[in-house]
Structure 1
Amino acid sequence: MYNLSIKVVVIVETSEHNTLWEGYFSSYRKVASPHRKPSLFKWLYDSYKRLYLSCVSPSDVYRLADLKACLALVDTAIDDACDNEFLIKMNGGDKFSYEMLSMLYNADRVTSGDYIPLQPAAGNNTYAKITLDIFSDLLGTHVISLPRYNEFRGEFFLAMRNVAGSMEFSYLVNRNKVAYPYYIVVRNKGPSTMVEVLSILDLMASESFDASELGKAIALFRMADVVAMLNNAVNTWKKEIIERDYSSPVISLALEKKIVKFSDFEKVDVKNMEENLSPLPEIINGELNRTILVMKEFVENYEIKSFDALKYIDNYKTYAFESQRKNEEVCQRQIA
Structure 2
Amino acid sequence: MSNYKSKTAFASLLLVLVALFSACNLSENSKIPVLFDTDANNEVDDQHALAYLLFSGDHFKVEGITVNATSAPTGYSENSDVSDHYEEAKRVMQLCGDFYGEIPLKTGANGSFSEIKEHIGEPDFDGHEAVDFIIEQAMKKRNRKLVLLPVGKLTNIALALMKEPAIAENVRIVWLGSNYPEPGEHNQDWDIESMNYILDANVPFEMVTVRYGKPSGTAAVMVSQDQILHRMPGKGPKISAPVAGRHGGEFSNFGDYSVNLFSQFHMWGDPIGRALFDMAAVAVVKNPDWAEKREIPAPIYVNGKWVERPNNPRKILLWEWFDIYGIMNDFFVTMDDYKLVNVR
User: TM-score if structure 2 supplies the norm length?
Assistant: 0.30
Task: Select the structure of larger CA radius of gyration.
Answer: 2
Q: Which is helix-richer, 1 or 2? A: 1
User: TM-score if structure 1 supplies the norm length?
Assistant: 0.31
